[in-house]
Structure 1
Amino acid sequence: MSTTAEPSLFSRIAAREIPADIVFENERIIAFRDIAPKAPVHLLVVPKTAEFANVTELAAADPALLAEVVAVAQQLADEHCDGQYRLVFNTGAQAGQTIFHVHAHLLGGTLTEGTLGQ
C-alpha cells in the first residue's frame, strides 16, 4: 500500500479515530462487530497493518500473521458461537471487497447455505 494513501477505515478504528464495538485486540490484530451484520454473529478480524490489501498478499508475505488471524477467529468463534463458524475473505471489488485492507469476516450463529450472498 502506498504511504501517501489515506488510512483505511480499519486503520482508523485501530487508532481509535472511529468508534467500534471491539471484541479482541492484541499488538497485531483487532476484531470488532460488523456494523451491517450478515449473520447473528458477524465479526471482522483485521491485522493492524495496512500493508496487505487482501488475503493472498498476506499469505505470500506473512503467513504467520495469517495463521494468527485464523487462530483469533477460532478463539472468537469459541466465545461467541460455540466454535462453529464461517471465515470469509473477500478479494477484489467484484467479490464484494469494499475496504482494501485485508480482513476476515467471522460469521456464526444459525447459518443456512445460500443466505449470505446479499
Structure 2
Amino acid sequence: IPKRPIPRLSCVEAQDLLGHLMVVAARTAKAQGLEDGYRLVINDGKHGAQSVYHLHLHVLGGRQMGWPPG
C-alpha cells in the first residue's frame, strides 16, 4: 500500500511500484484460471477514460480480445 495517494499512472515516480502491480496482476490472472492469456489495462486521465482517481489496473480475460481495443 503506497504511503501517499497516487491518483494516476502519470503521477508515478517509483518504478518498483509498477513492477509490483504487474506481478500481483499476473498472480491474480493465474488464480482466476486465465492460462490462455489476459490483458492488463491502466486508464490515465480524462481522455484515457479514468473514472476512479486512484492508481489501479484491470485484468481482462476469459475470452479472445480484439485489436484495436475500444
Relative to total residues, which structure has the larger helix share, 1 or 2?
2
3-state SS of paired residue (2:39): strand
Q: Cα distance, 1:115 vs. partner?
A: 8.6
In structure 2, do the counterparts of structure 1 residues 55 and 83 end up closer, same or farther at CA, with 3 Å as the change threshold? farther
Give structure 1 regions of 4+ aligned residues with deviation exceeding 4 angstroms: none
The aligned length equals 69
Structure 2: how far apart are the matches of 1:50 and 1:106?
A: 24
Q: Percent identity of the aligned residues?
A: 28
Q: 1:1-40, aligned counterparts within 5 Å?
A: 28=1
CA distance in 1, matches of 2:67, 2:23: 26
State the secondary structure of the residue aligned to 2:18: helix
Alignment-derived partner of residue 55 in structure 1: 9
TM-score by length of 1: 0.51
Once the 2 structures are TM-superposed, how far is the Cα of residue 53 of structure 1 from its aligned partner? 1.3
2:54 corresponds to: 101
Q: How far apart, in 2, do the equivalents of 1:72 and 1:95 lie?
A: 23
CA distance in 2, matches of 1:85, 1:98: 22
List runs of 5+ in structure 2 lacking aligned partners. Answer: none
Compute the TM-score of the two structures, normalised by the length of structure 2. Answer: 0.80
* 1:91–1:116 Cα change, 3 Å: same
Tell me whether 1:89 sits opposite 2:48 in the alignment.
no
Q: Which has the higher contact order (CA 8 A, sep 6+)?
A: 2
CA RMSD across the alignment = 2.2
CA distance in 2, matches of 1:62, 1:83: 31
Structure 2 CA distance for partners of 1:89 and 1:75, relative to 1, 3 Å: same
One-letter amino acid of the counterpart of residue 113, structure 1: G
